[in-house]
């Protein structure tokens, strides 16, 4: 009997935004009996406690690797790669995930660029190893490098929830942490308390945290009040700054040193320990 699995609308919208390869609103994925348990684990992995999520993620990577070379294998490998960077689950875990994604790409090279970019991001920003002799992968690596050079020269002016205007280049002399987020993004919410702690700790030493949301004030204000966030929240309702920084997935964080140069960035949620490591590259300890 053929069974079908439907994702909740919120998950579907998120996956479409992050990766057209995975799902589209006009396409319904049919999972095999072998795939369905993997789908359930990946879908619910955010509810797994962090101390056991490492083992679950590694196990999932190995399970996906053992699937036959069918389109769903690449979908699952890419989906797991997107979830595996939501925190600090260790280099070994990310290496297993990257190896699984690389193998899936080799088995069934996709026409879309998204899977190559996902793997390139793991290699460039999470420092894993992946051997993939495909021109699409080389192009993805080159684009990430070019994007980083562009972001390093980018400037913007936005207004915060209190009506104050902030211009990035005017903050030279400070260490600036720019964090792109949204109210509907669970990993964004999860890292906010750590950002608030760091803001209170290092603010007197010259740390400026700018949270950037592309939603309107009516939605953002009550959420920020509930989260008890005191660092500035800037509104980018027209998404001009999101587009300037080529933000395709959130949360995403950039750290500028006192000279105005990017010294660290993340492709996903970070823990307080990981943020401290990033801030260390700007001189904070």
pLDDT at 248: 87
In angstroms, the CA 177 to CA 275 distance is 10
pLDDT at 261: 95
Angle at 103 between CA 99 and CA 108, to 5 degrees: 150
pLDDT at 28: 85
pTM of the model: 0.84
Angle at 80 between CA 79 and CA 85, to 5 degrees: 110
Angle at 201 between CA 177 and CA 267, to 5 degrees: 30
pLDDT at 2: 30
pLDDT at 274: 96
pLDDT tens, residue order, the chain (285 aa): 333 333 333 333 333 334 444 444 456 889 999 999 999 999 999 999 988 999 999 999 999 999 999 999 999 999 999 999 999 999 999 999 999 999 999 999 999 999 999 999 999 999 999 989 999 999 999 999 999 999 999 999 999 999 999 999 999 999 999 999 999 999 999 999 999 999 999 999 999 999 999 999 999 999 999 999 999 999 999 999 999 999 989 999 999 999 999 999 999 999 999 999 999 999 988
Closest by CA to 208, choosing from 148, 263, 267, 258, is: 258
Written as six digits, the tokens of 265 are 């960035």
pLDDT at 148: 94
CATH class of 154-280: alpha beta
Closest by CA to 185, choosing from 164, 214, 161, is: 214
In angstroms, the CA 218 to CA 235 distance is 11
Closest by CA to 68, choosing from 17, 36, 41, 32, is: 32
pLDDT at 285: 81
Exposure pattern of 206-224 as b/e (b: 16+ CB <10 Å)? ebbbbbbbbeeeeebeebb
Cα–chain center distance at 260: 23
């Amino acid at each position: 009997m053929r069974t079908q699995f439907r994702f909740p609308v919120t998950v579907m919208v998120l996956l479409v935004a992050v990766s057209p390869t995975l799902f589209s609103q006009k396409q319904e994925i049919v999972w095999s009996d072998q795939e369905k348990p993997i789908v359930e684990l990946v879908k619910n992995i955010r509810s797994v406690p962090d101390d056991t999520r490492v083992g679950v993620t590694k196990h999932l990577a190995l399970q996906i690797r053992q699937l036959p070379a069918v389109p769903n294998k690449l979908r699952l490998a890419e989906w797991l790669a997107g979830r595996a960077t939501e925190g600090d689950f260790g280099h070994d875990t990310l290496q297993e995930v990257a190896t699984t994604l690389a193998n899936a790409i080799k088995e069934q090279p996709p026409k879309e660029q998204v899977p190559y970019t996902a793997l390139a991001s793991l290699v460039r920003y999470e420092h894993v190893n992946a051997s993939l002799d495909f021109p699409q992968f080389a192009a993805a690596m080159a684009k990430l490098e070019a994007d980083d050079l562009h972001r390093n020269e980018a400037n913007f002016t936005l207004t915060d929830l209190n009506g104050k205007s902030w211009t990035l280049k005017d903050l030279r002399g400070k260490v600036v942490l720019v964090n792109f987020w949204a109210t509907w993004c669970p990993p964004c919410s999860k890292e906010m308390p750590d950002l608030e702690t760091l803001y209170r700790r290092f603010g007197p030493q010259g740390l400026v945290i700018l949270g950037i949301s592309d939603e309107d004030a009516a939605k953002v204000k009550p959420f920020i009040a509930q989260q008890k966030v005191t660092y500035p929240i800037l509104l980018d309702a027209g998404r001009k700054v999101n587009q300037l920084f080529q933000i395709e997935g959130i949360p995403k964080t950039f750290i500028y040193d006192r000279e105005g140069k990017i010294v660290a960035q993340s492709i996903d949620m970070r823990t307080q320990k990981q943020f401290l490591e990033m801030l260390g590259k700007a001189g904070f300890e």
